Amino acid sequence: MCVPAAFYRLLPVSIYLVFALCGSCSRDERPAEEPDRALRATYRQPTSGADDKWRAAYHFTPPEQWMNDPNGLVYHDGEYHLFYQHYPDSNVWGPMHWGHAVSTDLLDWQHLPVALAPDSLGYIFSGCAVMDYGNTSGFGSEDRPAMVAIFTHHDETARAGGVVGHQSQSIAYSTDRGRSWTKYGGNPVIPNPTPPRADFRDPKVIWNERTDSWLMVLAAKDRVVFYESADLKTWSKLSEWGSGQGAHGGIWECPDLFPLRENTSGETYWVLLSSLNAGGPNGGSATQYFIGEFSDGRFTLNESFARRLAEEGPQWIDYGRDNYAGVTWSDVPKEDGRRLFVGWMSNWTYAQQVPTETWRNAMTVPRALQLQRTEKGPILTSLPVRELTEHRRPGVELADRRIEGSLTVFEDERGQELAASEIVIEIDLGKSDAAQIRLVLKNEAGDELKLGYNRRANTYFTDRRSAGRQAFSDSFATGVHTAPRIGTGERLSLRVLLDRNSVELFADGGTTVMTDIYFIDSPWTTAIIETTGGAAALTKSTVFPLG
Ligand code: FRU
């Protein structure tokens, strides 16, 4: 985490310590095998008030207070679980709990009580959850398989006292579909190593079918470390990877590792995600990916991917400023077969200052990750989950227009339809000579959000500098955000998701993705396609209000 972020994140810690010393806080000293009974049992319904205009319609937001990373993403018995880094007592970062919600369609979420709270080993930092269907841990039974959460215990008292090795990995389990949790008596299952490591966190575990064992990846400052286990309780270290690879300049956090089949060849590659704070392509936090192979306990880069890294630099899952710490769902049924991803739709640079008060931050739209073949080897793409398309209301379509200057593609006088909408645009670049082609959203307050394509640089961009409030942070609207156009070909395609305070651009089938938040006080009323330096051949544009 960069210095200002660290500073802001530790502010509430001192407040917390004062409470802890007074003996009046909820820090939990119960025996580790006891279920978490002291947890807040119910949540108030999502608040209503001045913040409502920014509360997403179809993105996940916490019912109240602070949220950062998605955690414990797991599917079981018809439900997608989303746990998340949560401080239920404040709207800034503090003693971390795991908040919890479930959904059957990844879009409509039911809030559940907090699942895990800090205890004598520390705060509950990021981690994952798996279904132990083989009952390797012995926590469940054949009829009632255990859902096992694997997370980092962060000992804030030790950290504040200058102890370097203050993070370790622990587990907890539930045999009632994630509704109640018991922390394992033998925690931590991976103590901080010797010599100690300051940053040693965010375990992500999969069942490795090639070795019939559990495989963990965790982040350790400028690299990842791999561990293996037969029972989720006893872990042995396999190897480390990443020092000097890809983007550095910050701390590696929240990694993920999984095999994925490439669409066309059917060949399987291993994908490694690694979030980096700071050092993202447009500043602050962002998530890079690597493609390679995991065998004999080691990760190695795919040759073509290594060449791509050398020629083009780091590869990002999303080039916008607001997609961090994203990881994928475990145990999605084989018949479904998708590798589903969600990220935290914010950036440590300003996440604690954004203008919502009663709740803070949202998740990105859930996305399906795929490997796509290109001439230069496989790349990772992401597209909104197909469940979202079911929420499209009848669209307003325009086809075959030559745009020189501007063309209004949607007018929404009451400001009710664009707020949560999907805009799909196709341009024939072969018949276009415009230097810039952009989509502009406008409202009655004179705000403008722009995103589009710059032909000469072959880049996409988003520009939120005139889109609402900026004063809450000097680093929120510092410049135009840019991303390479990775897709090739004459057909430029844009899918744009709007949801009250966010925009997600999926260009060329999800080969370039940009996610950004903004804070406007009155809703978008007009969507316009504009060109500069020439004309654009619009094949088709459709605006779907999302219901
Ligand atoms: C990433 C992160 C993780 C850590 C968590 C703490 O945003 O810094 O590395 O586990 O947040 O809330």
Rounded mean pLDDT for each run of 10 residues along the chain, 547 residues in total: 39 36 31 43 60 94 96 98 97 97 97 96 98 98 96 97 97 98 98 98 98 98 98 98 95 98 94 98 98 98 98 98 98 98 98 96 98 96 98 97 98 95 98 98 98 98 98 96 97 98 98 98 97 98 96
**Whole-number Cα distances in Å, 467 to 258, 483, 500, 528:** 38, 19, 12, 15
Question: 489, 427 in Cβ contact below 8 A?
Answer: no
Residues 131, 301: Cα–Cα separation, whole Å: 29
The DSSP result for 138-176, as a single string, is SSS-SSSPEEEEEEEEE-HHHHHTT-S--EEEEEEEESS
Q: Which of 1, 69, 151 is the best mutation target for the ligand 1 pocket, counting ligand atoms within 8 Å of the beta carbon and taking the most?
A: 69
Q: Which of 85, 154, 273 is the best mutation target for the ligand 1 pocket, counting ligand atoms within 8 Å of the beta carbon and taking the most?
A: 85
Query: Which ligand 1 atom sits nearest the alpha carbon of residue 96?
Result: 12
Name the strand (E) or helix (H) holding 7.
Answer: helix 3-22
DSSP-derived 3-state class of residue 372: strand
28, 36, 69, 256: the catalytic one is: 69
d(CA 201, ligand 1 centre) in Å:
8
Look at the block and give the residue holding tokens 């709007």: 498
Q: Which candidate, 116, 79, 76, places its Cα nearest to that of 100?
A: 116
Helices (H), 232-312: 303-312
**Whole-number Cα distances in Å, 400 to 43, 397, 427, 530:** 50, 10, 9, 15
**Whole-number Cα distances in Å, 414 to 102, 167, 231, 391, 529:** 33, 51, 57, 20, 20
- Sign of the four-CA dihedral 99, 100, 105, 107: negative
Q: What is the pLDDT of residue 22?
A: 31
Query: Which ligand 1 atom sits nearest the alpha carbon of residue 154?
Result: 10
233: amino acid identity, one letter: K
Question: 349, 285 in Cβ contact below 8 A?
Answer: yes
Q: Which candidate, 513, 486, 455, 481, places its Cα nearest to that of 311?
A: 486
* Structure tokens given for 188: 């931590």
Residues 477, 517: Cα–Cα separation, whole Å: 10
Radius of gyration, CA atoms only, the chain: 23
Beta bridge partners of 339: 369
Q: Which of 83, 254, 360 is the best mutation target for the ligand 1 pocket, counting ligand atoms within 8 Å of the beta carbon and taking the most?
A: 254
* Residue 537 C-alpha from the chain's centroid: 34
Q: Angle at Cα 147 formed by Cα 146 and Cα 151, nearest 5°?
A: 130
| Contacts of 346 by beta carbon, 8 Å cutoff, 6+ apart | 68, 322, 324, 354, 361, 362, 517
Q: 160 in the Ramachandran plot: left (φ > 0), alpha (ψ -120 to 50) or beta?
A: alpha
Active site residue 77: no
Residues 546, 507: Cα–Cα separation, whole Å: 19
d(CA 156, ligand 1 centre) in Å:
13
Residues 324, 510: Cα–Cα separation, whole Å: 17
pTM of model > 0.85: yes
Question: 498, 419 in Cβ contact below 8 A?
Answer: yes
* Structure tokens given for 534: 């020439």
* Structure tokens given for 209: 């079918």
Q: Which candidate, 325, 146, 303, places its Cα nearest to that of 219?
A: 325
Residues having CB within 6 Å of any atom of ligand 1 = 1, 68-69, 85, 96, 125-126, 152, 201-202, 253-254, 325
State the DSSP code for 386: G
d(CA 125, ligand 1 centre) in Å:
6
| Cis? peptide before 195, omega within 30° of 0 | yes
Look at the block and give the residue holding tokens 């993705």: 513
DSSP-derived 3-state class of residue 51: helix
Query: Which ligand 1 atom sits nearest the alpha carbon of residue 69?
Result: 7
**Whole-number Cα distances in Å, 104 to 78, 82, 146:** 6, 11, 20
Residues 42, 261: Cα–Cα separation, whole Å: 41
Task: Count Cβ atoms within 10 A of the Cβ of residue 516 and give its class: 0-12 exposed, 13-18 middle, 19 or more buried.
Answer: buried
d(CA 69, ligand 1 centre) in Å:
7
Backbone angles phi, psi at 188, to 5 degrees: -80, 150
Query: Which ligand 1 atom sits nearest the alpha carbon of residue 251?
Result: 9
* Structure tokens given for 26: 């909820």
Task: Count Cβ atoms within 10 A of the Cβ of residue 266 and give its class: 0-12 exposed, 13-18 middle, 19 or more buried.
Answer: exposed
d(CA 311, ligand 1 centre) in Å:
31
CA torsion angle 6 9 13 16 (round to 10)? 180
Residues 479, 328: Cα–Cα separation, whole Å: 30
CA torsion angle 214 143 79 345 (round to 10)? -30
Q: Which candidate, 117, 88, 136, places its Cα nearest to that of 181?
A: 117
